[in-house]
Amino acid sequence: MGGIGIAESRDLLRWRTVNAVTAEQECERNGICAPCARLIDGRVHLVYQTYGNGPRDAICHAVSDDGLMFRRPLGNPVFRPGA
């Protein structure tokens, strides 16, 4: 799986990949990284950066109701240089 991996563990020693947030937008085409997650009103909000696009790199946002399946709200990317 590429992108930002989502894993689970019952003992914090053995981990299993259960999903990944993969590139969907043009600004994400070379890769996404550096995730930061926050729980707000029962939803997981993921903020992450793109890379490899030079001046087209951006900060993006995705939301999940279950922490496994993420969708990108309208208005992505939320920040990009020169925008």
- State the residue for tokens 């995705």: 62
Q: What are phi and psi of 24, to 5 degrees?
A: -130, -30
CA distance 61 to 21: 11
pTM of the model: 0.86
Give the pLDDT of the chain (83 residues) as one tens digit per residue.
469 999 999 999 999 999 999 999 988 989 999 999 999 999 999 999 999 988 889 999 999 999 999 999 988 999 988 75
Reduced to 3 states (helix: H, G, I; strand: E, B; else coil), residue 66 is: coil
